[in-house]
Amino acid sequence: MNTEITSIGSAGYALSQEQRNRVLRNTYWLLALSLLPTVLGAWLGVATGITESLRGGLGLIVFMGGAFGFMFAIEKTKNSAAGVAVLLGFTFFMGLMLSRLIGMVLGFKNGTDLIMTAFAGTAGVFFVMASLATVIKRDLSGMGKWLFVGALVLMVGAVVNVFVGSTAGMMAISVAAIAIFSAYMLYDLKQILDGGETNYISATLALYLDLFNVFQSLLALLGIMGGERD
């Protein structure tokens, strides 16, 4: 028997420590790289106003269609070099979709400070969850189904609020999203560390979505609660 292969937790994952470390290392590198197209997409969207017309139902259709289309393509290409290119295209698209919120926040007198605070808060959440993932020994794979249900309920609530336009609803959804996707971050990191996720492109996509949703929700909350008009 290969003594380098170990069974991890109750889930029974069998992957060497070296393989798990390689997946984690590649995931972190690709995650860092994925932020560049996101920033570029957000800058382009703010500079050109290309997403200003994407309001209400139209914005929802474009976002959902684009996001799920890209995620389907990533899943189909994740075992090839093309998967990296498709993932980076997805992060550029997500940056474009984020630009409308960023543009609104930049309209506040303290808009730049709010964006930096949201970025720092997201980085802090990631650091805490990454630290917890390394010290928690129990198998967290059972969290997946509950988090998935929570994310579905959250998505339905967000879709409804697009048409209702409630500020209170937006705040409640943002708080729930921060909690759910912070927990998802811990779950996804633990999956990598325990050998449950073996593809670094899939792992990067999962963590990117966690970070994106936490950042977007923090920024929305800060804009609602702390935005200063001129």
Convert the pLDDT of each residue in 89-140 to its tens digit. 999 999 999 999 999 999 888 889 999 999 999 999 999 999 999 998 888 8
pLDDT tens for each residue of 51-83: 777 776 777 788 888 989 999 999 999 998 899
The Cα–Cα gap between 36 and 1 comes to 44
In sequence order, the 6+-apart residues with CB closer than 8 A to the CB of 160 are 169
Element (H, E) at 194: helix 167-194
Contacts made by residues 10-13, CB under 8 angstroms, sequence distance 24+: 10/139, 10/141, 11/139, 11/141, 11/194, 11/196, 13/194, 13/195, 13/196
pLDDT in tens, 129-182: 999 999 988 888 888 889 999 999 998 998 888 788 788 888 999 999 999 999
Averaged confidence pLDDT in the chain:
87
194-to-77, 200, 209, 210 alpha-carbon distances in Å: 24, 14, 20, 19
Q: Which residue has the tokens 């090839």?
A: 80
> What are the Cα distances from residue 214, in Å, to 19, 109, 121, 148, 219?
29, 23, 9, 16, 9
Tokens 């759910």 correspond to what residue?
180
Q: How confident is the model at residue 219 (pLDDT cuts 50, 70, 90)?
A: very high
Cβ contacts of 41 within 8 Å, gap of 6 or more: 91, 92, 93, 94, 95, 96, 97, 98, 99
Token code pair at residue 189: 């990191």
According to the model, what pLDDT value does residue 131 have?
A: 93
> Considering only CA atoms, which of 55, 58, 73, 63 is closest in space to residue 155?
63
Query: In angstroms, rounded to a whole number, what is the distance separating the alpha carbons of residues 176 and 153?
Result: 10
**Three-state DSSP state, 140:** coil
Distances (CA, A) of 8 to 14, 97, 111: 6, 39, 46
E-strand spans in the chain? 7-8, 13-14
Residue corresponding to tokens 């609660």: 225
Which pTM was predicted?
A: 0.88
Among residues 126, 133, 124, 111, which one has the least CA distance to residue 196?
Answer: 133
At 230, is the pLDDT very low, low, confident or very high (cuts 50, 70, 90)?
A: low
Q: What are phi and psi of 13, to 5 degrees?
A: -65, 140
CA gap 29, 228 in Å, rounded: 36
